[in-house]
Structure formats: C-alpha cells, structure tokens
Structure 1
Amino acid sequence: MIRILHSFILAGILILSSGCVKKWLEMEPKSEVSVDVLLETPEGFSIALNGIYTNLSSYTLYGGELSHGMVDVLARCYDLKNTMYDQLKNYDYVSAGMEQRINGIWALAYTTIANCNGLLMEMEKKSPGFFRAHERARLEGELLSIRAMLHFDLLRLYAPAPAVRDAVSIPYYTTLTHIPMPEKATSEILQLVMDDLKKSKDLQKEYDTDNEAREIFHKYRFRSGVEQDPFGPGKRAFRMGYYATTALLSRVALYANNKPVAYSNAMEVINDKTGAEPTITFTPSTLVDVGAYDRLLSEDLIFVLYRKRFEYDFNKVIFLLPNTNQIFGSDLNSDYRKKCYLSNNGRQLLKYDTTQDREGDITGAIPMFRLSELYHIAAEVLYDTDPDGALGMLNSLRAKRGNTVPLPGVPDKNAFLNAIINDARREFVGEGKLFFLYKRLNKTILDETNGNQTLTEKFILPVTER
C-alpha cells in the first residue's frame, strides 16, 4: 500500500532506461495515514496535492537547485569561491557530490511525477458525485500542469535543445506503473507536455477566469480572503492554475519553436483584465520610490512556490554578482531591479532576504512564472513580422522596471535577442531561467570577467542512475 508521510504520497521512482526498476519506497514514519483513509474526502486529495507542492519546493528541485542554485551557477550568474558549487561552476559534472546532486534532481522529479499520476488514478476511481465540479477540474488541471512542468524541465536539463538536434531524450509517464517507459524524442516529449497543458487549461478555465475569479486572483493570489475552503480561490498564485498553465504553455511552445502558440498564450496573460485593470501588473514606481516594495517585485508574479526556512537554505552560500555594472550599463541608477534585487553595491543577491519587515507574506515565495517573461516571449516572436512593435514591447517592459530611456533600434534579430538576454540577466537572476535561455538559443553563456562559455554539449547534464 502507498503510504502518506507528512501529507506526501510516497511512490518509488519507476523509471530507469536500463530496464532496472527501483523499488517502492518503504518508510516507517511516526505518523502515517493510508491512502484509502486520506482519500475518503475531497479535502484529503487537497492535502495529498499539498505534499506534491512541498516536493516541488524542496532544495533539490525549485527551492534551490532549479532556482538560485545549480542552474544559475551554470549560467555564470555568480562569483563563487570555496562553496559547494566550485566544481559545477567549471561544468565538472562528475566530481564528488555533483553526480549525486544531478541524479537527485532526476530521481525526485520522477518520484513527484509518479505522485501526480497516482493521485490522478485515484481520482478516476471516485463516483461522479464525490467531487464538486470545480474541485475535480481544478485538481486534475493542477496535477496535469505539474506533471508537464516536471517533464519539461527534465527535458531541458538532460537532453539537447531542439535548436541543436531532436534527440531521443527522456521517458514520459502518464500512468503510475512499475514498467519503465521508453525514452522519446525531444519533439515527442514537447508535444506530450503541450497536450497536458492544453487539457489543463480547458479544465481550469471556467473556474479561474470568470470576473469574480479574476478579481480575487488580482487581490488575493498571495493570501486568503475570508474563505477557508481548501478549494477556494485564495492564494491561487501558489497553485498551477489557469494563468500559470498558460504561462508555462507559452514557455514550452517557444522552446518547441511553435511561435504562434507561444505568442497567443503570452498575449492572453498580458492582455487579461479585471474590468479596466490588468489582472496581473507590475510593481509601480510609487512603491519602489518610497521603499515600500518587496524585494521580489511581486506584483507581476503569476505562480510561486512556498518553502519554510527559505532564508536558511538560501544563506548556505553568499551569492555575489561579479558584473553588475556591465549588465545594467547606463541604466545602473534607474533600473528598479538593481535597487530591489541586489545589495546597495550591486554585488549580493538579496531577492530572498527576509530581514526587511516590508516583505510581508511574500517572503517565502520562490518565483516560477513572471509576466515579464511573457513580454520577452511575445517580443521575440513578434520581431519576425514587426521589429518595431517587438522593440516597443521590450521598451514597455523596461519602462515598467524604471528605465526611462528606451533602447534604440536594433539592426537584426540577433541583436534583438542579445537585448532580451541582457534584460533577462537583470530580471531573472536567482530564479533559474538564464541557463535555459542560453540553451534554447544555443548561445554563449556570458561572463564579463573573462569567463564566457560556449557550451553546446555541456548544456546537457549527465544522469548516471536512470
């Protein structure tokens, strides 16, 4: 029987390409509840789903390695010396400790995928009246989106980018099974990811996009309102809801070079309105100028994860930036991101600093999707047909981050991509986005301290325990 440990569904990792299957995890927790008991009520499914989100927030996944940790070290964001990342900053994937940590991401991601599939299968066993309509749709949609996100990030870590080759890469699991699934080509994996996300959008659209839901999302996405219903609309930014799923579909489609889908989904979120106001907007200058901002500039966050003791884990390493002046250039004194994300001298990353009282409820948030990324995606796609419109969109984003002097015209697409990369380096430091941006474009990783890296094959992390 599968057991519940502190709200986790524990399922063994099932997937090894060698044909070897890892056993189910056998654990003896002090307090445990069987699946049959926990899932007697819809609320039990919500508790089990919370366990899946806790997995996502772990340091092995998005609470560390896939945010400010491993992938940002690979993107040469930091000036690190005598840290646990010393081998990794030189793209040494096999030294003591590195191999285990890389394998750990693979293992926990597929365990969490198994958890998602296990819950989906348990949902199928329930009678039609067990869930209220929106409960079932929301649960199924979130589980499909989480499953898709994990497969996508496994693909981005452990397989070549589509711009390089369509290689046989990873398995895709849609059921809880002890039978290892075959590895599929990158193009097949991307299509399966997009299929899951499109289905999730269909399931969650009615619940998340009526006028009341939009208003609640705008106001309460990081906190609860008066309701205490575990299926209620409060704190939807901590869930893979409709807007998060739409943002992820845009990201995936761009990676797959499906530009129409990437653009339409990006613009759907950018243009979404609650009455006359954008449902998701940006932290205004009126807050930044008076020091009332939170360091995450959280107004444009679409989806975040929450992990307790975040500061403790973050402060295991002091993350110093070696090249702030070069990244910000003439915008050094105007760009909010330098003021809010970094220390006064621009050297230390303070996005997750919890010492400021103004941080409030957002302190524990791990950024997963921002509206700013959708501006980048839409602008990149738009450049092919409307270069001036694309530049205008990028300048609009820059203005929302305090840069009053617009970028001048760029001579070609490559120059425009370099402008997006520069903006992304300001925007996403500490959030695990830059390595994947370089990889998708097959670009040289930038480091102004004589450390530029042309990686190509080293963009692919090795897995020795599949």
Structure 2
Amino acid sequence: MKKVCLILAGAMVLLSGCVKDWLELEPKSEVSGDVLFETPEGFSIALNGIYTNLSSATLYGQELTHGMVDVLGRCYELKNTTVYDPLKNYDYVSLGMEQRINAIWALAYTTIANCNGLLEEMNKKGPGFFKEHERARLEGEVLSIRAMLHFELLRLYAPAPVVQDAEAIPYYTKLSHVPMPEKRTSEILQLVIADLTRSKELQKGFDKYGAGKDDFVRFRFRFGTDQTFFGTGKRGFRMGYYATTALLSRVALYAGNDQLAYANAMEVINDKKDDNEPTISFTSATVIDVGEYDRLLSEDIIFALYRLDYEEDFNKVTFLLPNTSQIFGSDLNSDYRKKCYLTSNGTQLLKFDVEQDREGDITSAIPVMRLSELYHIAAETLYDTDPDGALALLNTLRAKRGCTIPLSAIATKAAFEDAIINDARREFVGEGKLFFQYKRLNKTILDETGGNQTLTGKFVLPVTER
C-alpha cells in the first residue's frame, strides 16, 4: 500500500485574517483550534485558509492552471518557459519537475486534511451555533473543495478511465494518521460525485433562491452591502451551488456518465433570473466591440479563486503561443478570444495582463470553471442521441465568442470531439483544461511544431514522495 504523507491539523492550526475583508487572503497570524472555533467567524477564518491553499502557486495559482498542466497540454512555445524545460520530453523525474509534482500531491492532501478537520469541528457544534444557511453553506463548500482536490489528484496521478480502471489514490473523508488504501478510479469518482451531490443539496436553499441568488447575479465577484464571509457578495469566489453543479458535470463526464454530465451542464445553462434572463451569460458583443471588455471575458466565469499577486506573477513570464492561425482557422479575425486573450498578432497570452482596464473587481481572479465548458460538456454528451442538437450547442457558444461562420454537420463522434478540442484550445489557454481534455479522450496532442504527441503512458504523473 502506497503511503500518503499528510500534514494533519491535529490542533487545527489554520491561517487567520480579517473577517470583514476575508477575500484579501493575507494571513496575519495563527490561531489554535480551541480559540478559532469558538465562533462562526472562526470557521470562516479557517475556510479562508483553505482557499488560500487553493490559490497558491503550487495548486491553482500556477501549476494547475497556466503552469505545469498547460505546458503538458502544449499550449506554449516551450523555449519561452524554461522552468518547465524537462517537460518538452515529458521528463517527470528531473529534480525540478519531481519536486513540483510531489508538492502538488502534498499540498492537495494537506488541504483535504484541513477540510476534514473543519467538518469534524462543525459536527461538534449544536443547534443554534450557526445562523440560518451558514452551516449548510459552510459544509457544502468544504465538501466541494474536498471533492475537487481528490478529482484533481485522480486526473493527474492515475490513468484515465478510458485507458484503465486501476488502483489510483486514497480518498480521505476524515482526519487520520493512518494511510488509507488506494481505491480504483471508478470508486474515487463515485465518492467525488457523492460529495458534490450532497453539497448541492446543502447549498441550493441559499444560492438558488431569493436574496442569495439575486446577489450571486449582482455581486458575483464583488461585495454587496454585507461584506462578511457569510454575506451574499463575492459568491463567485466560493464553491457555491453553481460552481458545485459545474464541477459535478465535469466529474460525471470524466466518469463516462453522460446523462449526469448533461443534466448538470444544462441546469446551469438554462438557469434563469426572475426576469427570465440567464443567471450566467457571456460577455456581450456590444461591450467587446467598443473596447470596454476585460481580457478574461469574465461574465461567464462561474467560479474563480483569488490571489492578490496572481496577475503580477503571471506577467513575469512571456507565454508565447504556437499554431494560432491553425487553431483559429477561418475565425482568425472574428473570434473574440483571439482579440481578448492574445496580442494582436496572436503570439502572446495576455489574458491576465494587469495593464488591461477591467470592469468591476475581477482583478486577481484565477478562472476555474466557466459556462463555456458546460456548453462543451452538454454538446459532447448529446452527440450520440442528437448530433444536430449537439452541433447547435457548439455553434451557440461559438457565436457568443464572435465566430460568424457556423460549423457544418460533423459526421462522426471522434470528429466532433476534435471540434470541441479546437474550441477549447481557444477558450481555455492559461486555465489548465487542455491536458485533461486530451487525457480523458486519450487523444494525441497538437504540439508547438504542428505535429502530434501520443501520450497514453505519459498522461500519468509519478509521485515519488507519498
């Protein structure tokens, strides 16, 4: 049995910060668990520390977004990302890469341990400790984060289900100093789905209705009138109901459960406000055409993480992109994603450029889930039963991104998957999606020379310090 080295928070020593300005994520001190969990605000401080871990460079602040996994997906000219030089040949054991790979594993499981510790502390509190909705929202968010991290570990360190249902990773549902046995990929996916399903049930009473939903629409990435952690503002930076639903769709697709994936994708796509307008929509063409857009095209971001220095760190490296003309094809001059995400010549990624004026308070955001991904999922899972409907979904997304020439009928599922991958290359550069897309389908990867990389064995990262 492989061992997992967990930094278990026996005394639950977690990062604390200012409760009112919780999203600043600037840890100021450490607080023992005995003191921290005397009030609901203490639980918010502990969860704040968990979000801090998620947004670190080791996880979504770099390696799981624009860093390692996008390099593995051949999104960049590797000669300009020298820190990842060994990955040109998918060399995972060189010292620098080995350390990075082990660090992802260690911090992810440390954060899972903190999630479990927080859940156990919640279970010690009696009725009345939390106000209405506070406990359900807190438990739901923690379950979703625990599920998300197990899923990322599975996608990195185990073969895709289409290749092998092998013993993969341990799944931790409680604090334990005893290493848990590895479970098969199919078992891990069912545990992830169970956590996310439970989280949806807990959170729907707040996020789906009334003031919670109204403020999700109005203040997704900024504060409303209530600036506390348990307020209704900035829910786009939290693993709330819509983020959990989107993640469940992603996980179900990976598990091969097309029906569940489609249902959850369409739930978010079809969700409406009181005025019957979509709850989550796309950045308007009229905004982009007058040059008042933010480069992130942030209107359709369902869930993002937050790190104050994220954009500044991103701009320290020049990310050059290959194959732009090949990827955009006849949409080269119309697709908004080229205009917004890249330099005018299409060779450099500027999606997170700090010099770009942005609307609202979307700076320092790290996109994790978008509505566009749900269109991809819904289209792929619909193809077998309704290829025309699937194509209509993909063309709807393309039109929302400025493409003026609809795709014609696509005769085979494999070719349709290739069309989605092409759109994903435009949509998710810098966001860590491409490598996992290729892996799930066991597809060859378009590399920076215009050739293809067959990676069935190399899709699985090794861990030397478990």
Q: TM-score, normalised by structure 2?
A: 0.94
2:7 alignment partner in structure 1: none
Q: Distance in 2 between matches of 1:143 and 1:253?
A: 19
Q: 2:253 touches 2:261 (CA, 8 Å); kept in 1? A: yes
Task: Indicate yes or no: 2:304 matched with 1:295.
Answer: no
Does the CA-based 8 Å contact 2:116-2:175 persist in structure 1? yes
Q: Secondary structure at the match of 1:316?
A: coil
SS in 2 for 1:458: coil
Residue of structure 1 in register with 2:424 after alignment: 424
The structural deviation recorded for 1:7 is 2.2
Q: Which segments of 5 or more consecutive residues in structure 2 lack a partner in the other structure?
A: 1-9, 18-26
Residue of structure 1 in register with 2:30 after alignment:
32
- 2: CA distance between counterparts of 1:373 and 1:211? 27
The CA deviation string for residues 22-47 of structure 1, in whole angstroms up to 9 with x for no partner, is: xxxxxxx9943211111110011001
Cα distance in structure 1, aligned partners of 2:361 and 2:160: 37
Q: 1:395, 1:277 → 2: CA distance?
A: 20
What are the Cα deviations for residues 355-374 of structure 1, in whole angstroms up to 9, with x where unaligned? 12235511200000000000
Bigger shift: residues 31-40 or 405-414: 31-40
The equivalent of 2:184 in structure 1 is 185
Correspondence list, 1:3-18, <5 A: 4=13, 6-7=15-16
**Which stretch of structure 1 is more off in the superposition, 308-317 or 238-247?**
308-317
1:346 is the counterpart of 2:346: yes
In the other structure, the counterpart of 1:2 is 11
Deviation at 1:5, TM superposition (A): 5.0
Structure 2 counterpart of 1:400: 400
Tell me by how many angstroms 1:448 deviates.
5.5
User: How large is the RMSD of aligned CA atoms in angstroms?
Assistant: 1.4
Q: CA contact under 8 A between 1:254 and 1:377: conserved in structure 2?
A: yes
State the partner residue of 2:44: 46
In the alignment, what sits opposite 2:53?
55
Equivalent residues in 2 for 1:151-190, closer than 5 Å: 151-190=150-189
In the other structure, the counterpart of 2:69 is 71
Distance 1:138 1:450, change over 3 A: same
Contact 1:168/1:184 (CA < 8 Å) preserved in 2? yes
**Secondary structure, in 3 states, of the residue corresponding to 1:415?**
helix
Aligned counterpart, 1:11: none
Matched to 1:133, the amino acid is E
TM-superposed CA distance for 1:3, in Å, is 5.2
Query: Aligned equivalents of 1:402 and 1:428: distance in 2?
Result: 16
Aligned partner of 1:307 in structure 2 is 307
Structure 1 contact 3–32 (Cα < 8 Å) conserved: no
Q: Is the 8 A contact 2:307 2:364 kept in 1?
A: yes
Cα distance in 1 for partners of 2:14, 2:135 equals: 23
Q: Does the Cα contact within 8 Å between 2:222 and 2:360 map onto a contact in 1?
A: no
CA contact (8 A) 1:215 1:279 kept: no
- Alignment correspondent of 2:5: none
- Tell me if structure 2 keeps the 8 A contact 1:116–1:143: yes
CA drift of 1:89 comes to: 2.7
For 1:196 and 1:253, locate their aligned partners in 2 and report how far apart those are by CA, in whole Å: 13
CA contact (8 A) 2:246 2:268 kept: yes
Q: Give secondary structure in 1 for the equivalent of 2:457.
A: helix
Q: CA deviation at 1:188?
A: 0.2
How many residues are matched? 446
Once the two structures are superposed, residues 341-381 of structure 1 have per-residue CA deviations (whole angstroms, 9 ceiling, x without a partner) of: 01111111111111122355112000000000000000001
- Superposed displacement of residue 279, structure 1: 0.3
Report the secondary structure of 1:181's partner residue: coil
Does 2:380 correspond to 1:371? no
User: In the TM superposition, what is the alpha-carbon distance from 1:452 to its structure 2 partner?
Assistant: 1.6
TM superposition shift of 1:227? 1.2
> Residue in 2 aligned with 1:317?
317
Q: Is the 8 A contact 1:137 1:204 kept in 2?
A: yes
Partner secondary structure for residue 357 of structure 1: coil
For 1:146 and 1:313, locate their aligned partners in 2 and report how far apart those are by CA, in whole Å.
24
* CA apart distance, 1:218: 1.1
Q: TM-score, normalised by structure 1?
A: 0.94
Map 1:48-197 → 2, pairs under 5 A: 48-81=46-79, 83-197=82-196
SS at match of 2:391: helix
User: Once the 2 structures are TM-superposed, how far is the Cα of residue 293 of structure 1 from its aligned partner?
Assistant: 0.5
Q: Which amino acid aligns with 1:105?
A: I
Provide the secondary structure at the position in 2 that maps to 1:367: strand
How far apart in 1 are the matches of 2:14 and 2:427?
A: 37
Which one-letter code corresponds to 1:236 in the other structure? R
Deviation per residue, 1:56-110 (Å, 9 max, x gap): 0000000000000000000000002261011113201011210000000000000
**One-letter identity of the residue aligned with 1:173:** Y
- 2:331 maps to which residue? 331
Change over 3 Å in CA distance of 1:206–1:323 after alignment to 2: same
Matched residue, 2:260: 261
Question: Which residue does the alignment assign to 1:13?
Answer: none
Distance in 1 (CA, whole Å) between partners of 2:150 and 2:284 is 35
Distance 1:451 1:418 in 2: 15
Letter in 1 for 2:358: R
1:231-270 aligned at under 5 Å gives the runs 231-270=230-269
Does the 8 Å CA contact 1:326/1:448 hold for their aligned counterparts? no
Identity percentage of aligned residues: 76
Q: What does residue 437 of structure 2 align with? A: 437
Letter in 1 for 2:366: I
Match of 2:356 in 1: 356
Distance 1:440 1:30, change over 3 A: closer
Superposed displacement of residue 129, structure 1? 1.3
2:386 alignment counterpart: 386
Task: Give distance in 1, aligned partners of 2:137 and 2:415.
Answer: 42
Cα distance between partner residues in 2 of 1:49 and 1:6: 9
Please say if residues 261 and 378 of structure 2, whose CA atoms lie closer than 8 Å, have aligned partners that are also in contact.
yes
